[in-house]
Amino acid sequence: MSNRSSYSPNFLSQCTVLPLLFLLLVTGPSCQNNKSVNSVFPESNPSIGPNCSENKIPGYYLIKKEDESLVTVNAPDDDSFINDWIKPNLNEIRWAESMKKIVVPTTSGFNDLVTEMVATSQAPQPNWGQIKTETYWAHEHNFRGQGVVIAVIDSTPDITHLALAPKIAVNQNELMGEPQQDDDQNGLIDDLYGWDFSENKPITNLSFFDNHGTHVSGIIVGSHQNWSGVAPEAKFIPISFLNPQGFGNILGAALAVRYATSRKVHIINASWGGVSCSPILAEEIQKATNQGILFVTASGNEGVDLDQLPFYPASFQFPLQITVAATRPSDYLAGYSNSSFELVHLAAPGEFIWSTLKSNHFGYMSGTSMAAPFVSGALAILKSAAPNASPALLRQAIFQGVEVKDYRVKTRGRLNIRKSLEWLLNQNPN
């Protein structure tokens, strides 16, 4: 998550199609069907818009057509892309942008630090995050995420892991259908468990599993012997677009969000980011939230102020979005965690978090990637307690229940599931 654009997050447009970011003020007339190269490909003119070149993948471009299809294009430079693709097809193009990379946020040196602390018996207890957030109070009152489905958009988790395998929301249309057939007619054959958009194939027990997606999934729904994640009776859909090296791109992310939306999940967990200037990704997330899906994302691990150095999806401001910073076992905000009084909503445990790893292992990982799934699991708990509560009310309950610590986040506080539950149940949403 080191590549960021340098433009202000307040640079907004009032266009009804995409009201929440990225459309330059100059593109306002495009809302009146006055298309131009600048209106469909705003980054083509950096003198009037944001600088989007920092994390672009040279030679690759992405087009979203008016029929919603996404098309990748090879072109040596912007001028060739404009002349060979945009101008001849302007009426068919809704948005166009350079392809950009997306990365898993990392915390440098963490693995060495874990090895040292485990060897000297200084590592925190495995469930410290659940204790701090009072997760077990919810479990004791039988609120464990029952009936809730979360899309984990990440790298491919180990779906054979004993702590995760029973928690997958199996695609019933494919389960009851025929092999090698697109039984649910969504264009994806045999997406029984989920889909890998980095390889464009279904996730199966023969997939190449990765620790990051496995760890994030376990924090939300995992359970094994005397350990459990936050919402152990919720279900999850594994959706991957990040390769084992932690890299993906805008196309994979947009398709992953679109797929999650089509599976009618309640929550999307997005523990990744760093991309800038992507109206295509923004529109897919907006469509998900318009359908009532809560979107939870990591704030990032550069230790910067997102008000000054925004990147996405952390810096989006969708009404059903929650952006999460990371705290340490000491209850201080982690030094590497990005923060913002406007764009980051709250903090959650994110350092030395114990969860599932591939090949039926468990272990510690650290970062805002681990903090976001604590909030996704908390939302699942809240929804299991108040199934008829609106997504907006569930989001408000998360904020109302924070343990105020004077962090540099909008609520100033850290996730507290007990307090959020008590506030929500007092609203009597049912």
Q: Which of 39, 139, 154, 161 is catalytic?
A: 154
Query: How many C-beta atoms surround the C-beta of residue 303 within 10 A?
Result: 12
Residue among 161, 212, 266, 345 flagged as catalytic:
212
3-state secondary structure 267-327: EEEECCECECCCHHHHHHHHHHHHCCCEEEEECCCCCCECCCCCCECCCCCCCCEEEEEEE
Closest CA to 313 of 13, 14, 19, 22: 22
Q: What is the dihedral of CA 290, 293, 298, 304, to 10 degrees?
A: 20
Neighbouring-strand partners of residue 248: 102
- Taking residue 83's Cβ as centre, other Cβ atoms within 10 Å add up to 12
Task: Determine whether 5 is an active site residue.
Answer: no
Give the residues across from 374 on adjacent strands: none
In which residue are the tokens 């672009």 written? Answer: 56
Q: Give 22's Cβ-side CA count (13 Å radius).
A: 29
Please say if 154 is a catalytic residue: yes
For residues 164 and 222, the answer to whether their CB atoms sit within 8 Å is yes
Beta strands in 194-234 (DSSP E): 195-196, 201-202, 223-224, 227-228
Which is catalytic among the residues 369, 376, 384, 420? 369
Q: Which residues are catalytic?
A: 154, 212, 369
